[in-house]
């Protein structure tokens, strides 16, 4: 079923921005790429067919959620995450670390891992670098992530330094476990391990973290610990250095981002991959992204509006449904409203990434980025 290769090639650069191709056993991904999030075995509210039609290339699954329910062994029994989700294209799984630190109860951290209570049933669960690898081997994603420690925003330099040291040590343990497993999933497909840079907003710790990871010669590198409340400027300051800190021939993945303005700033600084719940979460809450600003579709001003969310958009929702109908579906609490606006937003993010790739190839990204941000952050619901 799958080509057993993994590779990354930069095809165009424009200043620090790169457009390339990520090859995985489940197909190729044009970068910069945005990965919709399928937390618990489903990108909420959309079928894989709708997801593909909306332009998604690669999706993310959450190890934390899947290990707790239905369990990694059960996912493997059901044929792995690709089979379970009916998604035969690339998948990335995170390591579970971030959710342990944000969702789980009664966390205890030690040198070898983290013990926590499941937020689902209160049971005690332990996650180690080795078990994070084994779980992701069972899930079977194309790209797997090291276990890391992600301190909250506003953590002191001393504590972030400790998290950086621990994350580097865990990266090495993850690499050893991944190599021992033959770099293969339980389904027999090649898996690529990415390390995760930590270091908060401290430039020295970011540099140290990157250097320690790069020494492990991993297939890709993620930038973790951002989009945790530090703000756009602080994020940009950290990203300013990644082009020199991380090797140019490996994909760079900014975890949990996000906002179109952040994506544009990160691409300009050399990031290749993104993931965020924004298109689906905001879609479920009736907020639709457009190049000319966001629509809050519960707003009464759209009640009689016969036009689509965006007249320029070719998504299924815009080809078939008016703003007035979508508003009605949300007011009537019909499931179809969240599904349709999620489809629209997923399509918007796919279009945004496609426009970014074209602009990098054309050398026009810097100029267009500013225009796009100016358009996208208008308030379309103003006056209500």
- Residues at the interface with a second copy (CB under 8 A): 40-42, 44-50, 65, 69-70, 74, 77-79, 83-86, 303-304, 306, 316, 320-322, 324-325, 327-329, 331-332, 334-336, 338-340
Nearer to a second copy, 195 or 338 (CB): 338
Shortest reach from residue 1's CB to a second copy, in Å: 15
Shortest reach from residue 325's CB to a second copy, in Å: 5
Residues in Cβ contact with 297 at an 8 Å cutoff, skipping those fewer than 6 apart: 286, 287, 288, 309, 323, 326, 327, 330, 337, 341
Nearer to a second copy, 83 or 162 (CB): 83
Nearer to a second copy, 78 or 366 (CB): 78
Shortest reach from residue 333's CB to a second copy, in Å: 9
Shortest reach from residue 101's CB to a second copy, in Å: 21
Nearer to a second copy, 73 or 379 (CB): 73
What CA–CA distance (Å, rounded) separates 36 from 349? 9
What CA–CA distance (Å, rounded) separates 39 from 42? 6
DSSP character string of 53-80: HTT---EEE-HHHHHHTT-HHHHHHTT-
Choosing from 148, 262, 272, 275, which is the catalytic residue?
275
Nearer to a second copy, 13 or 322 (CB): 322
Residue 275 among the catalytic residues: yes
Shortest reach from residue 335's CB to a second copy, in Å: 4
* 262: nearest Cα among 15, 1, 32: 32
Place of tokens 């579970």: 96
CA distances from 138 to 77, 131, 185 (A): 9, 10, 6
Choosing from 94, 142, 148, 262, which is the catalytic residue?
94
Nearer to a second copy, 127 or 343 (CB): 343
Residue 204 among the catalytic residues: no
Shortest reach from residue 332's CB to a second copy, in Å: 4
Angle of helix 232-239 versus helix 260-268 axis, rounded to 10? 20
**CA-CA-CA-CA torsion sign (133, 134, 139, 142):** positive
Place of tokens 């994603």: 141
Q: Which two tokens mark 58?
A: 């690669």
Place of tokens 């899930």: 139
The verdict on whether omega for the bond into residue 70 sits within 30 degrees of 0, i.e. cis, is yes
Shortest reach from residue 127's CB to a second copy, in Å: 19
Helix (H) or strand (E) holding 15: none
Nearer to a second copy, 224 or 338 (CB): 338
Q: Dihedral (C-alpha) 198, 162, 153, 237: value to the nearest 10 degrees? A: -40
* Residues carrying an active site annotation: 94, 275
């Amino acid at each position: 079923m799958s080509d057993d290769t993994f590779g990354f090639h930069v095809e165009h650069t424009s200043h620090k921005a790169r457009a390339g191709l990520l090859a995985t056993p489940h197909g190729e991904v044009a970068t910069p790429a945005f990965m919709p999030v399928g937390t618990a075995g489903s990108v909420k509210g959309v079928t894989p067919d709708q997801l593909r039609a909306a332009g998604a290339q690669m999706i993310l699954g959450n190890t934390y959620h899947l290990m707790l329910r239905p369990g990694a062994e059960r996912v493997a029994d059901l044929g792995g995450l690709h089979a379970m989700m009916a998604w035969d294209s690339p998948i990335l799984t995170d390591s579970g670390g971030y959710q342990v630190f944000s969702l789980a109860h009664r966390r205890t951290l030690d040198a070898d891992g983290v013990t926590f209570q499941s937020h689902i049933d209160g049971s005690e669960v332990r996650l180690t670098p080795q078990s994070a690898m084994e779980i992701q081997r069972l899930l079977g994603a194309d790209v797997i992530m090291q276990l890391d420690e992600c301190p909250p925003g506003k953590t002191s330099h001393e504590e972030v330094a400790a998290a950086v040291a621990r994350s580097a040590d865990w990266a090495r343990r993850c690499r050893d476990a991944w190599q021992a497993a033959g770099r293969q999933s339980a389904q027999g497909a090649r898996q690529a391990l990415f390390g995760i840079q930590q270091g908060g907003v401290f430039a020295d710790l970011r540099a140290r973290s990157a250097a320690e990871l790069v020494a492990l010669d991993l297939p890709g590198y993620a930038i973790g610990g951002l989009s945790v409340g530090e703000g756009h400027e602080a994020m940009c300051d950290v990203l300013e250095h990644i082009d020199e800190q991380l090797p140019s021939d490996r994909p760079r993945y900014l975890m949990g981002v996000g906002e179109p303005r952040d994506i544009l700033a990160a691409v300009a600084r050399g990031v290749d991959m993104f993931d965020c719940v924004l298109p689906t979460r905001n879609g479920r809450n009736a907020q639709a992204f457009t190049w000319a600003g966001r629509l809050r579709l519960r707003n009464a001003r759209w009640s009689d509006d016969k036009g689509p969310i965006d007249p320029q958009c070719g998504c299924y929702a815009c080809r078939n449904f008016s703003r007035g109908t979508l508003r009605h579906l949300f007011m009537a609490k019909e499931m179809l409203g969240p599904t349709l606006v999620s489809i629209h937003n997923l399509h918007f993010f796919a279009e945004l990434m496609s426009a970014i790739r074209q602009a990098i190839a054309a050398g026009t990204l810097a100029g267009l980025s500013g225009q796009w941000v100016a358009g996208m952050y208008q308030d379309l619901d103003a006056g209500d």
